[in-house]
């Protein structure tokens, strides 16, 4: 069986071929962040100031990503802070009072843990997460089960929110309208859904059958689904999920004009 990959942070996640009509996508990449693109005149500071004043997070993220891809000053500062730390790691085995565990077993478990962490590409994972936090304002992800290494799929931030905590960890809600809005062909949508864990499939089914609550005014669809807290993660600053250096962009435009 051939295999493809979901674009994610960490080791590859294998899945079967996806057929679109008579064609097959081999080694397909699912980019959850850039399936839609809106083009505006981001050189106009009034648009940027208006987005910040109104806390229009989707627009601020679009502006931030636009400048990250087109402006060297903005990209350099984002990269610098994202990769400022080395994200090194180490493990330290301990064998204290249990003398019944043979050294061979201890070394075998130690090797297995090292292999798992090596296959998780932790330094790249942490750097990519930090960059996403700085450019987009936060990082939402879902941990896929994998015995060989840690696999985290980045979720589209504009379809995620966090209003609660489970212990000291944020609980993540996902807007199931994402699948309807980005994958309009029903047959293809089902194939994409099958690439996701059962948690997403269950949430989408509840959304389509009207079993998700409309929990606040202005939510006519009832499409927000609470993901498994053990598998979903969020990283961010305490700035309301706003891109970290969005306030610097007007000054960058002034510098360019000068």
User: What 3-state class would DSSP assign to 144?
Assistant: strand
Q: Is 177 exposed, middle or buried (0-12, 13-18, 19+ CB in 10 A)?
A: middle
Q: What is the C-alpha to C-alpha distance for residues 249 and 253, in angstroms, rounded to an integer?
A: 6
pLDDT digits (tens, 9 = 90+) for 107-164: 888 888 899 999 999 999 999 999 999 999 999 999 987 888 888 999 999 999 998 8
pLDDT digits (tens, 9 = 90+) for 41-63: 888 899 999 999 999 999 999 99
Are the CB atoms for 35 and 182 separated by under 8 Å? Answer: yes
pLDDT at 126: 94
Q: pLDDT grade, residue 30 (50/70/90)?
A: low
The reported pTM is 0.79
Mean pLDDT score, 223-246: 93
pLDDT at 232: 95
pLDDT at 233: 95
Are the CB atoms for 249 and 67 separated by under 8 Å? Answer: yes
Residue-wise burial string across 103-135, b where 16 or more C-beta atoms lie within 10 A, e elsewhere: eeeeeeeeeeeeeeeebbbbeebbbbbbbbbbb
**Beta strands 18-20; 138-144: pairing state:** unpaired
Least-confidence region, from 108-112, 129-133, 185-189, 226-230: 108-112
Q: Fill in the DSSP letter of residue 184.
A: -
pLDDT at 14: 43
Q: Which of 211, 204, 223, 209 is nearest to 161 (CA)?
A: 223
Mean pLDDT score, 201-226: 87
pLDDT at 142: 95
Q: pLDDT grade, residue 32 (50/70/90)?
A: low
> Which neighbouring-strand residues pair with 143?
152
Q: What is the C-alpha to C-alpha distance for residues 254 and 104, in angstroms, rounded to an integer?
A: 65
User: What 3-state class would DSSP assign to 55?
Assistant: coil
- Kindly tell me if the per-residue pLDDT of 223 is higher than 60: yes
Phi, psi of 156 (to 5 degrees): -65, 120
Least-confidence region, from 3-7, 148-152, 175-179: 3-7
- Kindly tell me if the per-residue pLDDT of 15 is higher than 80: no
pLDDT at 74: 96
Mean pLDDT of the chain: 83
């Amino acid at each position: 069986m051939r295999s493809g990959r979901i674009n994610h942070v960490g080791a590859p996640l294998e899945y079967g071929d996806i057929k679109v009509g008579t064609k097959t996508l081999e080694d397909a990449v699912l980019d959850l962040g850039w399936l839609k693109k809106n083009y505006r005149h981001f050189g106009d500071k009034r648009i940027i100031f208006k987005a910040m004043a109104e806390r229009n997070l989707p627009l601020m993220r679009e502006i931030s990503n636009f400048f990250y891809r087109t402006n060297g000053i903005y990209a350099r500062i984002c990269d610098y802070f994202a990769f400022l730390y080395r994200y090194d790691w180490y493990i330290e085995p301990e064998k204290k009072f249990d003398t019944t565990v043979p050294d061979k077993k201890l070394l075998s478990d130690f090797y297995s843990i090292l292999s798992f962490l090596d296959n998780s590409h932790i330094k790249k994972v942490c750097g990519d997460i930090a960059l996403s936090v700085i450019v987009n304002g936060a990082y939402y992800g879902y941990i896929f089960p994998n015995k060989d290494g840690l696999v985290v799929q980045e979720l589209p931030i504009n379809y995620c929110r966090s209003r609660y905590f489970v212990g000291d960890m944020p609980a993540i809600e996902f807007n199931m309208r994402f699948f309807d809005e980005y994958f309009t062909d029903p047959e293809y949508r089902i194939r994409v859904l099958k690439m996701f864990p059962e948690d997403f499939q269950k949430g989408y089914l509840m959304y389509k059958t009207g079993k998700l609550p409309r929990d606040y005014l202005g939510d006519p669809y009832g499409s927000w689904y609470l993901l498994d807290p053990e598998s979903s993660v969020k990283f961010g600053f305490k700035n309301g999920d706003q891109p970290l250096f969005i306030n610097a962009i007007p000054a960058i435009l002034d510098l360019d004009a000068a």
